[in-house]
Amino acid sequence: MFDIKIGTLIPAESALTMIPQLNAVGFESYELNFNDCCALANGSEGVLKEYGKRVLDVLDGRKISALGIYANTIEDENTRRAVENLIANAEHFDCDRVGTFAGGHPALSVRETIPDFVKVFTPLIELAESKGVRIGLENCGDGWDRGSSNIAFCPEAWELIFNEISSDALGLEWEPCHAVMQLMDPIQQVRRWGSKIVHVHGKDATVAHDVIREYGLRGIHAYAWNRTPGFGDTNWADICTVLIQCGFKGSIDIEGYHDPVHYDDMEWTSQLTSLEYLKRCRGGINFFDGPTEYRGYQGKRLK
């Protein structure tokens, strides 16, 4: 079977109505985003367990690839508690990935924030280890000298984080968009950090190099835009190749709702285009296991 499933990111509170519609057009996995329903993530005991059972009933063979909530895990107690509850209840969604932000302090640098990151995340990681869950820190952009809600946005920050906490339960929820918008090479990031990537957001970017050449980076002119995969600058066949070479087995879930060209009534048409594109990039649209008499000379794939 394919090492990589292709899915989409949807609001957790809409999962029961959206999943059956999206199953019908070929999506294979879903990340449930709890940002707009933090109360659900922080509900009384049994709420997430019951909701997980209802979600599993509509999956029809698909997969919940991750549960996510994205806010300041260090400074916001509701977010920290929601992350804890998602880790504790991921099993009820037949899921073993939880995505979030690393958190941050607006007045402090990345390096100055590391002690508080360790203090907040150590008990979360211990819980994740006990539950067989891996936490993915999204690489959403922020700043080095002054942060806001996510210090885990660049390789130097990852070095600091993983030097402090080496657990396999802590990794990256990665996407090329944030690298491209910082004018970095996403392929180099996957080669270096592929073993730490636990989940991939399907979001890309377009950089207008002509705008940069004329106006630079600090003027009033935008020089980069979020894009749905297939419409941006990244070759996702290369991304999938290196991910597979690094041993990645999981989902690329399209993080829609950001593309400034294809949105509103074009949102799902563009996501369907991206779905087919990403399936081709991962190795194929449909898996065909035959003829078995001859498959070449390279031997068995690691599974």
Asked if the bond preceding 106 is cis, omega within 30° of 0, the reply is no
pLDDT tens series, the chain, 303 aa? 899 999 999 999 999 999 999 999 999 999 999 998 888 888 887 999 999 999 999 999 999 999 999 999 999 999 999 999 999 999 999 999 999 999 999 899 999 999 999 999 999 999 999 999 999 999 997 788 776 799 999 999 999 999 999 999 999 999 999 999 999 999 999 999 999 999 999 999 999 999 999 999 999 999 999 999 999 999 999 999 999 999 999 999 999 999 999 999 999 999 999 999 999 999 999 999 889 888 887 777 776
Every domain of the chain and the residues it spans = 4-202+228-282
DSSP letter string over 47-108?
HHHHHHHHHHHHHTT-EEEEEE--S-TTT-HHHHHHHHHHHHHGGGGT--EEEE--B--TTS
For residue 36, give the DSSP letter. G
Q: Hey, which bits of the chain come out as E strands?
A: 4-11, 29-33, 63-68, 97-100, 134-138, 170-174, 197-202, 204-207, 224-227, 250-254
pTM for this one?
A: 0.95
**What is the CATH class of 4-202+228-282?**
alpha beta
Among 52, 116, 123, smallest CA distance to 86 is for: 52
- Are the CB atoms for 62 and 23 separated by under 8 Å? yes
Burial of 287 (0-12, 13-18, 19+ CB in 10 A): exposed
Among 160, 161, 165, 139, smallest CA distance to 150 is for: 139
d(CA 137, CA 121): 11
pLDDT of residue 303: 65
189: Cβ contacts below 8 Å, ≥ 6 apart: 155, 174, 176, 179
- Are the CB atoms for 290 and 46 separated by under 8 Å? no
The single residue listed with the structure tokens 């891996």 is 134
What letter represents residue 125's amino acid?
A: I
